[in-house]
């Protein structure tokens, strides 16, 4: 597997996927299709609330190295996408035009994107990183193939609309909301008929369990009591590429560890920060 340091990066955005997922996240589950049926021009406020920060995505992708190519796949004649065209072209993004199939309303972005990506792997052998901006489980096979071809695969998806199986297939998976500069998504307006979302404590409990397993693995593997913070986080990311302390509300991994002193002990007496299970 290619190291996640400086490299040459290819970025593929399933733009419809991200725009629709963000809209549903901000305005309520399945709200995009409902509002589209009524006419999105009547929902300007909802569209504004769900605006996707394209720059944040591209800037994050550039942290892995030089952007060799960036492509965005969508029906660019659709009104919901037209407002993004100038911004994307200004960031040197190639716009790939797709047209919806009349029978199903799908535009086949996953197939076209996957074919292009695999072709690029062979056409550009110096590519080291592949960034897939989508949360659809249809991209699992693509992520796995890119990894087998020796590329470091990064996924970016919207919270609540991203496949956990896709996250597991990537080397690293980041929630869009956790990208630097992206504002916290406003909570959707709910009707009385809509159920409440699962409590955030579920995610916190899962993160605690992941931390415990990572510490147990590191301790047994290296036969030591204390482990470097960075090594623990790296192991957690290997087990769950979607893990992000920022998405849990912490500014740093150290802050995440400090919130769990009931199960871990910290040694911050030097620049080398260490942690162990209590």
Q: State the CB neighbour count (10 A cutoff) for residue 10.
A: 23
Count of domains observed in the chain? 2
Quote the domain boundaries for residue 158.
Answer: 8-178
Longest Cα–Cα distance in the chain: 64
pLDDT above 90 covers a percentage of the chain that reads 45
- Whichever domain contains 268, its CATH number is 3.30.420.610
Confidence label for 44 from pLDDT (cuts 50, 70 and 90):
confident
In whole angstroms, how far apart are CA 220 and each of 180, 214, 223, 235, 264?
Answer: 35, 10, 5, 13, 16
> Do 130 and 17 have their domain in common?
yes
Q: Whole-model pTM?
A: 0.77
| Nearest Cα to Cα of residue 171 among 1, 9, 5 | 1
> Residue 234 is encoded by which pair of tokens?
């790296």
> Do 42 and 166 have their domain in common?
yes
Q: Is the model more confident about 161 or about 95?
A: 95
> Do 158 and 222 have their domain in common?
no
Render pLDDT for 255-278 as a digit per residue (tens, 0 to 9): 999 999 999 999 888 777 899 888
Provide φ and ψ at 23, rounded to 5°: -60, -45
pLDDT at position 109 is 81
> Do 32 and 159 have their domain in common?
yes
> Do 131 and 247 have their domain in common?
no
pLDDT at position 71 is 96
Q: Is the model more confident about 33 or about 154?
A: 154
């Amino acid at each position: 597997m290619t190291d996640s340091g400086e490299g040459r990066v290819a970025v593929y955005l399933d733009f419809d996927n991200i725009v629709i997922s963000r809209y549903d996240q901000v305005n309520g589950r399945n709200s995009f299709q409902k509002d589209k049926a009524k006419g999105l021009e009547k929902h300007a406020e909802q569209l504004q609330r769900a605006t996707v920060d394209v720059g944040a995505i591209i800037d994050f992708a550039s942290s892995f190295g030089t952007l060799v190519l960036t492509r965005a796949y969508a029906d660019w004649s659709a009104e919901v996408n037209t407002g993004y065209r100038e911004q994307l072209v200004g960031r040197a993004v190639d716009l790939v035009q797709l047209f919806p199939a009349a029978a199903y309303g799908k535009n086949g972005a996953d197939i076209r994107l996957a074919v292009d990506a695999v072709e690029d792997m062979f056409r550009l052998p110096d590519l080291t990183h592949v960034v897939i901006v989508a949360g659809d489980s249809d991209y699992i096979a693509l992520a796995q193939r890119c990894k087998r071809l020796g590329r470091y695969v990064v996924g970016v998806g919207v919270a609540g609309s991203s496949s956990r199986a896709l996250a597991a297939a990537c080397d690293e998976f980041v929630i869009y909301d956790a990208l630097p500069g992206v504002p916290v998504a406003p909570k959707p307006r709910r009707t009385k008929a809509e159920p409440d979302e699962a409590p955030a404590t579920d995610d916190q409990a899962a993160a605690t369990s992941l931390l415990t397993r990572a510490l147990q693995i590191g301790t047994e593997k290296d036969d030591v009591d204390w482990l470097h913070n960075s090594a623990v986080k790296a192991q957690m990311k290997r087990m769950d590429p979607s893990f992000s302390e920022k998405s849990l509300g912490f500014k740093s991994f150290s802050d995440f560890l400090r919130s769990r002193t009931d199960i871990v002990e910290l040694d911050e007496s030097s620049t080398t920060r260490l942690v162990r299970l209590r």
